[in-house]
Every structure is written in C-alpha cells, then in structure tokens.
Amino acid sequence: MSMRDKISNALKTAMKARDTERLAALRLINAAIKDRDIVARGEGAPEVSDAEIITVLTRMVKQRRESARAYEEAARLDLAEKETAEIAVIEDFLPRQMTDDEIAAAVEAAVTETNAASVRDIGRVMGVLKTRHAGEMDFAKAGAAIKARLG
C-alpha cells in the first residue's frame, strides 16, 4: 500500500470517528503533499514518490518540533501541545527511527565503504547515509557521530 493510500485511509477513518484533531493533522499532511505534487508537475513528474512523501513528512515533523519549542519558551503550552499532537499523527506514517546504536553502526559502515579518513570526507559519508536511510535516521545525530568518528 502506498503512502498516499495509507494517508487517505487514515483520513477516512478519522472522519468516520469524528476525531477532529487527527483529521486536521491529516489534512495538513495532504495539503503539504499536494503542494509538492504541484512543484513536481512543473518539473515534469506526474506526482511525488513515497520517498519524497517521507521527506515532506520528515520536514513537517522538524518544523513542528521547532514550533513546539518556541511555544514552550513563550509559555504557550496549549499551542505546544497542539504541535506535539500533530507530530504524533505525522510520525505514524514515517518509518521507525533508528536508535543511537543503529546510527553508530550505519556511520561506521558508511565510513568504511567510502574510505573516509578525515573531517573533509563528511560530505561523502553523509551522502551514503542519506541515500540508504532517508526518513529513518536523525541526520543531526549522524553528523555528530561522523565528526566524532573522523575527528
């Protein structure tokens, strides 16, 4: 089942259950995907792939985490909770995130594969990781792990 079908089915289920918070988050997901589809059509592709949808969802999670942090700092806990609830809905459609140990193992494998020897090789290692683990790895943690390994 494609990502679009999963999201569409979840949207229908939320409508039937009258789950307004989940429904609102799912509609935001659909809107973001449709925006990306419009850009893709301009580039000649009929619609975005599941991998691109995962990228869109990952970006949405990152934006909401930043917003929630800002709301918490501004003592707007009601808005921070709303953002956190949206994160939970979006993460339902993302692949399982890698643990720190799994990230370390993937970094070690990528460093070995690319024969990286210094900090100047971080880009090559990160490129390998991004192609293999898009959507399932926190690349900020991976970047720190690469620096620690090569630095």
Can you give the CATH number for the domain in which 12 is found? 1.10.1510.10
User: Which amino acid is located at 116 in the chain?
Assistant: A
Residues 87 and 21 in one domain: yes
- Identify the domain boundary among 73, 91, 109: 91
* pLDDT value, residue 9: 95
Mean pLDDT of each 10-residue bin along the chain, 151 residues long: 92 95 95 93 86 89 95 95 95 88 92 89 90 83 89 76
Overall pTM surpassing 0.85 (yes/no): no
By residue range, what is the domain housing residue 144?
100-150
Both structure tokens of 148:
């620690």
Residues 30 and 11 in one domain: yes
* pLDDT value, residue 45: 81
Question: Among 54, 129, 67, 56, which residue's Cα sits nearest to residue 96?
Answer: 54
d(CA 62, CA 117): 31
Residues 53 and 111 in one domain: no
Decide: residue 73, CB within 10 A, 0-12 exposed, 13-18 middle, 19+ buried: exposed
Residues 28 and 86 in one domain: yes
- Give how many domains the chain has, as a whole number: 2
